[in-house]
Amino acid sequence: MDVRSRELAEPFTTADGSTIRVLLDDALGGARNQSLAEATLGAAQATQRHYHRETEEIYVVLAGAGDIEIDGNRAPVGPGDAVLIPPGAWHQIRAEGGELRFLCCCAPPYSHDDTYFESE
């Protein structure tokens, strides 16, 4: 069993512009079929609109407020809200006011190679 502390997870910036801390994936903790990360957006920051061909994502908002757009549909999100992002769905999440912090579960695990932007 591997118990990983959020405090020991090194933050880095993903291809979409969010800052994440990987909590579990194939390299850290041995999760072969999914990954779990904590993502943070600063006040008024948004991810770059993108999609994943293979990956299904679930976002769970931990703190802050924002809005999410999935394939042209927008909704407000706040603490306790969970959102499913199917493979192939264009999406973007934006912080409103202060910092927005959320969990991101990806199956299969997150990969930069499975992240596509509008300019591609």
Higher per-residue pLDDT: 100 or 120: 100
Question: What's the pTM value of the predicted model, to 2 decimals?
Answer: 0.93
Q: What is the mean pLDDT of residues 3-22?
A: 88
**61-99 b/e with 16+ CB inside 10 Å = b?**
beebbbbbbbeeeeeebeeebebebeeebebbbbbbeee
Q: What is the pLDDT of residues 41-86, one digit of tens each?
A: 999 999 999 999 999 999 999 999 999 999 999 999 999 999 999 9
Q: Indicate the SS3 state at residue 92.
A: strand
Cα 53 from Cα 63, distance rounded (Å)? 28
pLDDT of amino acid 35 = 95
